[in-house]
Structures are given as structure tokens and as C-alpha cells.
Amino acid sequence: MMNHQEALTLYIAAFVAELVKSGVEDVVVSPGSRSTPMAMVMAEHPELRVHIHVDERSAAFFALGIAKASQKPAALLCTSGTAAANYYPAIVEANYSRVPLVVLTADRPHELRDVGAPQAIDQIHLYGKNVKWFVEMAPPENTAEMLRYARTVCARAASMAQRSPAGPVHLNFPFREPLVPQLDRADLFELSERADGFVNIKPGQLGLREEEYREIAESLNETSRGIIVCGPLEKVDFPEAVIQLAKKLNYPIIADPLSQLRSGMHDGSWIIDTYDSFLKNEDAKKALKPDVMIRFGAMPVSKPLTIFMKENSDARQLIVDGGGGWRDPALLSTEMVHCDETQFCESLTPSINAGKDNQYFSLWKEINHLTRSRLADINEVDELSEGKLFYQLSEMLPEGSTLFVGNSMPIRDLDTFFHFNEKNIRVMANRGANGIDGTVSTALGAGTLSQPLYLVLGDLTFFHDLNGLIASKLYGIDINILLINNNGGGIFSFLPQANHPKNFEKLFGTPLDLEFGHAITMYGGKYDLISTWEHFISTFKQNTDAKGLKVMEITTNRDKNLTEHRELWDSVSQEISRLLEG
């Protein structure tokens, strides 16, 4: 009769073998006792990269970054109790940004639950609706049926995580002591049954019938006042497909910085990239009023663009969502199209009549060109400037870089000042729940696969996840961090709260007065406090080829930053009004 240790070992080995067969290549493990059997077996598998991260909150964001960069599910493993609870913020982000994660939590067995046992919390449906699927795993057994069960649940979990819309799944493992598996078996990951006993799942993708494509094409052929809005979207084959559709329709593409359309070798002549500035102008909004909008991806970053779409609620609005969701917070859609985004473009394009003369499109291009020329004035600023930093990024970043951007002001400045280029720069951010937590950890997770890596973020975001820097030290992940320190929450200066100065600094400005250089030294990094633009440029070039953690801190003033932005936007608005009046 097989003992507990053998049953535990083979049950988990069957699960881990299936995990790898299902496409999982990376697992992030946080040390703990109850997760011992799974951790030790995972460490034995030759095709699994095991990353150790002692802080579960940071670990979960690190795994999120790996999954975002690879577009494959990453696995997470932790012990029972509050360790599992610390995964919650990253799981929420993964859910809303559609990133595949396989979350594995160890747990006390059933007889030790709800009886006051140490480190035992209720982990059943711990993450609620923020995971696509939850399974309370059966206790380990070494029967043929239970080994098939372990493999099948694993295959379903990995498939569910990847199936559109991608997202996190949660498997909870009750383990009894003793917890140490038997690892001296030569056949640890071999199947006990047929040669190929793995479970192969083919999920397919959402699409439309041919007559539905024809109906959409016929209606689009009737109007020239149309736009394509591309929000955050990570699909390698989408940019070229949507460009071809835009060419056929003669529609401009309003490209969010996270759409992966603002950088690359595709035809940039269809890209509108300064709308966040010129859609603040009422004359421009009236002149550019569309009859139809086609939107892909998540909601765009830009508030002026969102307002523009709301103000044109009488226009026909098609939202194409390959995940079958309902990403329409303003409730503007006249047609919700549940279809793979690339397939939609490729299948629709042949039915579009080409060759329409489109003065409407030409006006978008003219206003975009004019706005670009005015925004270039930011380069004349002599002092260290947040806007100038983002404007120069497209010129300074190396070919093929990954640019990870923090939330709050950085992502908005990126939207304003980062314009089309041909450098194949991949732009990433955590825009699912839009929080500032876990940004450093997510970027470093992405950095395990995407190099060279640049992270631009504010001081509050950096402070919020300082401990995430340990991953760079432990795993030698190269990262260039551009830290914008305006000593507080810069975005609040642009919001209505700033009109109430009495407790503004206390409640919203929240200055921390931190000297970050000490923390960088603790994590073995190179730190530079930038004094001038010349200093910034020389340090940036030096750090490009340097290894490890490098942080350049750029100190700015919130009030001056507000004035600088408003003066620039006023200049843009005046030029546009003159253009349209003439």
C-alpha cells in the first residue's frame, strides 16, 4: 500500500507536469511551510523557471509582469493565511487588464479549518469574482483516477486563464503533514498511463458570420466622417490589420499610447497621437464631429477623448471586443461586436470600398500636425520638466525597448508627449484597475523577458513598491528607472480638489520629503540625482549599456508643472482656433 508521502509526491508531480505541458514556463514562489510539497516538486522540473520572492504582494505583481510580457500564463505559489491575501491587488489588476495568472495557494486540510488552527483563514473563493475560475482541490491520492483529476484540473485552469478574455484562476490545495515529498524517483514527471496522457484544450476565438461582416461594411461604406479609436491592447498582429482597415475606410486612428500603434514599422500616416491636447478645444471638437466610431481595446487613457466620445453619443459607435466583455462605461455603444479584433479587421477590410476622398480625415491630420508643432515647444524649457522628459523619450530610447509607465501623471504625460516613431518600443502599464501599487514589481517581472527595460514613474508610486527592487538584485534584472519626484501627488494639481487649498497639501499633495538614494544603495543599485538636462542626457547614455539597477531621479515642482502644461495647451488651442477660423 502506498504511503502518504508517495501519494503526495505523485499527485503534485502529475499536476506540475501538466502545468508545464499547458504552456506555463514561469512560477513565482513565496517561501512558506504549507506550500512545501508543491514548491519542492516545481524546483525539480527542468522546464520550469522558479523565481523566489519573499513578499507575496510584490511577488504577485512580479508574476503579473511576466505574464504581461510573455502573453502566457505565469503561476504563483504561496503558503496559507495572509500570504494568500497579499496576492489580492495583483489579482484584481490581472482580472481587469485581462492577464493570465494561475494562482496556487496551499491550505490547511479540512479538519484544521475554522477550529482556531494557526495560519488558517477561509481561502474558499478568497478572490471572489476577480478570478475566472476557482477550484478547491481534492486531497492528494495516488490512484489513476486522482492523477487524471490533477492533470485535468490543471489543464482546465491554464486554458481558462488564457482563454479570451484572459485572466487569473485560483486553485486551493489542502495539504496534510508530513509535507516533504519524495524526490529521489527517476520517473517523477513520467505519466503512469498512455504515452501522451496530457489534456489538450483548443479554446478557439470569437468571430462573426460572413453576412454580418458584409452588413457592417455596407453601412461603413456610406459615411466618410468616421474614426477608429484604439485603446490599450496587446496583440502582435493587430497593428497591421487595423492599419489596413483604416486605409480602406480612409479613417484616422486615434491611438492610445498603450495600443502598440504609436511605435513600430507600420504606416504611421494614419495615426493621430496628439488628440489629448487638441480635443480640449471646442472649435476642434465641433469641426471633427464624427458620424461613426469604431473602438478596439480597453477605454483610452485620455479624458478629453472620453469626453469627446460622450459628447457624440448620437454617432454610431461600434465596440469590438474579442473577449466578449462590455467595456463601455459611458454606455455609448450602438453595436457591441464580440469578435477577435484582428480577425474583425482582416475579415471586414475586403468588403470596404476603397478610394473615398476624405476631407474629414485630412482635417484630423492637419490639426494633429499643428498640435505636434506646438507641443514641440516643450523642448525650449531649460529647467527639468516632466513634459520635456516624455517628449524626448521617443528619441532617446533604444530600438526595441520596453517602456513601462506608472499611473497618475506619467501615463497622462506619455499620452500627451509620446508621438509616433518607428523604434518598435513596447509600451506597458497597469491600466486594469489603474492603481499605483506594484508598479516596480510588475516592470521587473516584464524585465525577465523584455530588454532593454525602462520604467518611468512618480515618487509616490515608487515609494509604494520600493521593496519590489529586490528582484533586480536577486536575479540581475537590468532596469533603467526614471524617477519623477515632484514630492507628492502631482495629478491632484490638475483636478478640482486643487481649488480648495485649505487642506490640499495634507489630503492630496501628500509630500513625503524622501531621499531615495539610500534605498537604491540598499538594493545595490546605481543612483543619480539629475541636476540639468545635460546631466540627464549624459547619464542616460552611460546607463544604457550598464548592468543592474539604475535610477535617475528628476526633481520637479508641481506648481510649475501645472503652469507649464496649461500654457502649452492654451497655445495649442489658440493655434487651432486660428486655423479653423481661417
Distance CA 267, CA 188 (A): 52
Q: Which residues have C-beta within 8 Å of that of residue 539, sequence separation ≥ 6?
A: 528, 530, 552
Q: Tell me, what's the pLDDT at 1?
A: 43
Q: Tell me, what's the pLDDT at 162?
A: 96
HEC readout, 270-339: HEECCHHHHCCCHHHHHHCCCCEEEEECCCCCCHHHHHHHHHCCCCEEEEECCCCCCCCCCCCCCEEECC
Distance CA 146, CA 538 (A): 61
Q: Which residue from 341, 174, 171 is spatially nearest to 253, judged by alpha carbons?
A: 341
Architecture of domain 381-568: 3-Layer(aba) Sandwich (3.40)
DSSP designation for 188 = T
Q: Which residue from 382, 410, 416, 380 is spatially nearest to 565, judged by alpha carbons?
A: 416
Q: Which residue from 133, 143, 83 is spatially nearest to 107, judged by alpha carbons?
A: 83
Q: Tell me, what's the pLDDT at 492?
A: 72
Distance CA 339, CA 250 (A): 22
The fold for domain 4-174 equals Rossmann fold (3.40.50)
**H or E stretch at 254:** strand 253-255
Enumerate long-range contacts of 38-43, CB under 8 Å, 24 or more apart: 38/12, 38/77, 38/104, 38/106, 38/173, 38/175, 39/77, 40/180, 40/181, 40/183, 41/9, 41/12, 41/13, 41/16, 41/181, 41/183, 41/188, 42/16, 42/77
User: b or e along 95-109 (b: 16 or more beta carbons within 10 Å of the residue's beta carbon)?
Assistant: bbbbbbbbbbbbbbe
Distance CA 373, CA 579 (A): 13
Residue-wise pLDDT for 339-358, tens only, equals 999 999 999 999 999 867 68
**Which cell is 474 given?**
536577486
Q: Tell me, what's the pLDDT at 357?
A: 67
Q: Tell me, what's the pLDDT at 506?
A: 78
Q: Where are the alpha helices (DSSP H) in 71-126?
A: 82-85, 88-97
Whether residue 173 contacts residue 135, with contact meaning beta carbons closer than 8 Å, is answered with: no
Listed in order, the ranges of the chain carrying CATH 3.40.50.1220 are 210-371
Single-letter amino acid code for the residue at 67: A
| Per-residue model confidence as pLDDT tens for the chain (582 residues) | 468 998 999 999 999 999 999 999 999 999 999 999 999 999 999 999 999 999 999 999 999 999 999 999 999 999 999 999 999 999 999 999 999 999 999 999 989 888 988 888 999 999 999 999 999 999 999 898 999 999 999 999 999 999 999 999 999 999 999 999 988 887 788 765 444 567 888 888 888 999 999 999 999 998 889 999 999 999 999 999 999 999 999 999 999 999 999 999 999 999 999 999 999 999 999 999 999 999 999 999 999 999 999 999 999 999 999 998 899 998 989 999 999 999 999 999 999 998 676 899 999 999 999 999 999 999 999 999 999 999 999 899 999 999 999 999 999 999 999 999 999 999 999 999 999 999 999 999 999 999 999 999 999 999 999 999 999 999 999 999 999 999 877 677 676 876 888 877 778 778 888 999 999 999 999 999 999 999 999 999 999 989 999 999 999 988 887 888 889 989 999 999 999 987
End-to-end CA distance of the chain: 91
Distance CA 513, CA 573 (A): 36
Whether residue 391 contacts residue 415, with contact meaning beta carbons closer than 8 Å, is answered with: no
Listed in order, the ranges of the chain carrying CATH 3.40.50.970 are 4-174, 381-568
Single-letter amino acid code for the residue at 240: E
Query: CATH classification of 210-371, choosing from 3.40.50.300, 3.40.50.1220, 3.20.20.150, 2.130.10.10?
Result: 3.40.50.1220
E-state strands within 23-137: 26-29, 49-52, 74-78, 101-107, 134-136
Q: Tell me, what's the pLDDT at 498?
A: 67
Whether residue 440 contacts residue 521, with contact meaning beta carbons closer than 8 Å, is answered with: no
- pTM here is 0.95
